Amino acid sequence: MSALETYRNNAAQWLESIAPIYGKAARKGLSVEEDLALARRYQNAKFEAGYAGINWPTEYGGQGLSHIEKVTFESEEMKHGLPNGYFGISLGMPIPIMMQFGSDQDFVKERVLKALKGEEIWCQLFSEPAGGSDLAGLRTKAETDGNGWKINGQKLWTSWAQYSDYGVIVARTDPNVPKHKGLTYFWVDMKAPGVDVRPIKLAGGDSHVNEVFFDDVKISDDHRMSPIGGGFAVAMATLMIERYVATDSAGFGPHLDLFVDLARQIDINGKPALTDGRIRQQIARNYAMRSGLNAITARAMLMMQAGMTPGPEGSLNKLIAVRSRQKLSELAIDLQGSDGFVFDEHAPQKDNWTSSWINAPTGRIAGGADEMLLNTIAEKILGLPQDHRPDKGVAFNQIPA
C-alpha cells in the first residue's frame, strides 16, 4: 500500500468515527447558530487530528504536506455532509493572503492558528453596490486619520460577515488617479465601532451573504497590507487564489454519483433512465468536464507550492463548473417530474437537486459574474484584444457616477 493510500485510509477511518457527531444526521434540524457552534467544534477536532491546514507551512500551524493530501482528505470529507462551509472563505483567501502580505508575523501566526481551530472567521470585503464585478470601480473610501485611516462606504454580498471576527478590505485612498491605481488593501476588525452588518435573505431561503456599512471606522496603519495605492495587485492575488481554492468541479452542487443514482431509480419509457443514451451522454460529458477542471486545479496547486503564481485558467473553473451544475440540476428535476418541484429551503445544495438549482444563480454571480470571467478568458488565455474601456487612463473622480 502506498503512502497516499495509507493517508486516505487513515483519513477515512477518522472521518467515519466522527461523522455521527458532526455529520449530516447530527446537523439535521439545527439552527444556523447551533450548526456554527457544531462547525467550530468540528474544525477544532480537525486541527487536533492533524487535518487542518494540510498543505500549509508548519510554522503557521499547518501540516506541511502537499496539495495531493489536501485533495485526498477533502474527497473523503465530502461524503459525510460535515459543517465546513463556514470556514471556506476564511481559510481559502483572507488567511493565505495574511500569511503572504501581513506585516506583523506574530499577529499573523496568532490569527492563522485561531482560524485553523475554528475560533475565528474572516470575510472578504470586495463587492459593492456600484461596483459589481468591477473591483476597481469600488467607492468605499479610506482617508488618512492621524497616524491611521478612516473608512467610509458600503460592501455587498459579503459571505458570513455576520459571524466574522475580521475581514480583508480594498478601499479607495486616492480618487485623483485612474481607478486601478488609487486602491489600498487593509484588514479590519469586524467588531470595531462603525461596522454595521445586515444579512440578506436569498431566493434559496438562507442568509449567508450580507451588506456591510462602514461609518468612520478607524484603523491604524499596521492594518495596511499593500503599498498605498498598490491594493489592486494584492486584490488580484486574492482573486487568483479564490479561482482555485474556492472552487469545486461540481460547482458546489451535488456530486455526479448522485445523478447516476437518480438515473438508476427513475424510469424513462419503462426502463431505467441510466440506460437512455441521452442521459448516459450527459453523464459522460459531465465526467470529462469535471476531470478537466480538477486537472487545472491540481496544476495550479503545484505551481503555488513551487512559489509560482497560478494563471488565469482558474476563471474556467468558476465559469464552467457552476453553469454545468445548473444544467445538471435542471435535468435532474426534469427526470423527477412533479416530484422535482418539492422544495425544502433547509436542504443542502450538495445533495438536493432542487436546492442546487434554485441557488445556482447566486453561485454564478458570487466571486465574479460570467461576463467578467469571459473577458478574463478572452484576454488572458486566448490573447484577444481588450474591450473598449472609456474610463481607461481617466482619474476616478472624473468618471461619471
Inside any domain, residue 358: yes
**Residue 307's pLDDT is what?**
66
**SS3 per-residue string spanning 159-211:** CCHHHCCEEEEEEECCCCCECCCCEEEEEEECCCCCEEEEEECCCCCCCCEEE
Inside any domain, residue 401: no
Q: Tell me the three cell numbers of residue 309.
A: 503564481
pLDDT-above-90 percentage for the chain: 62
The whole-angstrom separation of Cα 148 and Cα 184 is 13
Same domain assignment for residues 107 and 135? no
- Span 1-47, pLDDT tens digits: 788 899 999 999 999 999 999 998 999 889 999 999 999 999 999 99
pLDDT score of 246 more than 60: no
When divided into structural domains, the chain yields a total of 3
The whole-angstrom separation of Cα 11 and Cα 5 is 10
Same domain assignment for residues 334 and 225? no
Whether 83 contacts 38, CB under 8 Å: yes
**CATH number for position 47:** 1.10.540.10
Domain that holds residue 139: 122-230
**CATH number for position 263:** 1.20.140.10
The whole-angstrom separation of Cα 47 and Cα 34 is 20
pLDDT score of 119 more than 70: yes
The whole-angstrom separation of Cα 199 and Cα 206 is 10
Inside any domain, residue 235: no
- Span 149-180, pLDDT tens digits: 999 999 999 999 999 999 999 999 999 999 99
The whole-angstrom separation of Cα 352 and Cα 333 is 10
Same domain assignment for residues 129 and 219? yes
Confidence band, pLDDT 50/70/90 cuts, at residue 123: very high
Same domain assignment for residues 42 and 61? yes
For cell 500549509, the residue is 56
The whole-angstrom separation of Cα 287 and Cα 256 is 7
Give the mean pLDDT of 321-334: 94
Between 100 and 215, residue with greater pLDDT:
215
**CATH number for position 160:** 2.40.110.10
Supply the residues annotated as catalytic. 242
Inside any domain, residue 392: no
Sign, Cα dihedral of 43, 47, 50, 52: positive
**Residue 243's pLDDT is what?**
58
Burial environment of residue 119 by CB neighbours within 10 A (0 to 12, 13 to 18, 19 or more) = middle
The whole-angstrom separation of Cα 254 and Cα 157 is 23
